[in-house]
Amino acid sequence: MIGTVVGAATAVGAATAAGAAALGIYYPNASLVGPVVGRGPRRRELYLTFDDGPNGRATPAVLDALDEAGVPAAFFMVGNFVRRHPALARRATEAGHLIGNHTTTHVKLHWSGPRRIASELDRAHATIADVTGRAPLAFRAPHGYRNPFVSRATRRLGYRTFGWTFGVWDSDPIDAAEIRRRVRRRLRPGAIILLHDGDGYDPDGDRTPTARALPDIIRDAREAGYRFRPLTALLD
């Protein structure tokens, strides 16, 4: 295993794009650059996850919808946005949702070196711990892009790294009805569902269509016999 990691680290330095793809760098659930959880047990259970917040417009609406339906979720937050909206990060924590580290500036990590990667993860870790009073236990890489230095940092921080089973490109300019349809079509047992309550590159980005779709997404899934489980169930 150690041999594999070292080999991959060496290869990354000289890799072509094709070589990087072969190493699994572009695949959110590839385990070649470190272990990652991309799906839960194949039961009629689902895991909701929201990336790129907190966001002043969408996050409160997402939290309202989750609260209303009694559904747990995980939020992979951007450190700089936690600084902007500390009350939202605290509200999500107090509601019992899992807060994960999604880097400080939402940089794509796959071509970054060890120092930049450590800084991106460590600063977000400290911010989340400081603001919410709880050290994060989970990590998701922006776009799922990782390399062996990312694995080294997540191991040091004691994180479980998460990918996702499916996303629905809810960052496309599409309306809530289309987001709902896309999720409904892709539901499958044990799925970790990737949605967005923020925009990783624009703190004022509009993710309200996702928030508006959420009550119907939850209703559709329950009508299809699914129940929602907290991502914390997959931490160990």
How far from 122 is each of 18, 31, 55, 119, 189, CA to CA, in Å?
30, 22, 21, 5, 34
Of 97, 170, 196, 199, catalytic? 196
The residues with which 99 forms a beta bridge, in sequence order, are 75
| 143 catalytic residue (yes or no) | no
What sign has the CA pseudo-torsion 106, 109, 112, 116? positive
| Cβ distance to Zn ion smaller for residue 199 or 226 | 199
| 175 catalytic residue (yes or no) | no
| Cβ distance to Zn ion smaller for residue 190 or 200 | 200
- Residue 197 as a binder of Zn ion (CB under 5 A): the answer is no
Considering only the stretches 28-36, 150-158, 197-205, 221-229, report the one whose residues sit in contact with Zn ion under the rule CB under 5 A. Answer: 197-205
51, 120, 170, 199: which one contacts Zn ion (CB under 5 A)? 51
Cα separation, 59 vs 162, whole angstroms: 20
Q: Could you tell me which of 111, 116, 106, 174 has the C-alpha nearest to residue 143? A: 106
Alpha-helical segments (H) within 157-226: 176-186, 208-223
Q: Could you tell me which of 150, 111, 117 has the C-alpha nearest to residue 17? A: 111
- Residue 53 as a binder of Zn ion (CB under 5 A): the answer is no
Binding residues for Zn ion, total number by CB under 5 A: 4
Residue 109, both tokens:
């990590």
- Residue 199 as a binder of Zn ion (CB under 5 A): the answer is no
- Residue 163 as a binder of Zn ion (CB under 5 A): the answer is no
54, 142, 163, 167: which one contacts Zn ion (CB under 5 A)? 142
8, 46, 52, 214: which one contacts Zn ion (CB under 5 A)? 52
- Residue 144 as a binder of Zn ion (CB under 5 A): the answer is no
C-beta of 200: minimal distance to Zn ion in Å?
A: 4
| Cβ distance to Zn ion smaller for residue 198 or 215 | 198
| Cβ distance to Zn ion smaller for residue 8 or 199 | 199
How far from 132 is each of 1, 122, 136, CA to CA, in Å?
35, 15, 9
- Kind and range of the H or E element at 74? strand 73-77
Q: Which residues bind Zn ion (CB under 5 A)?
A: 51-52, 142, 200
Q: Which residues are annotated as catalytic?
A: 51, 196
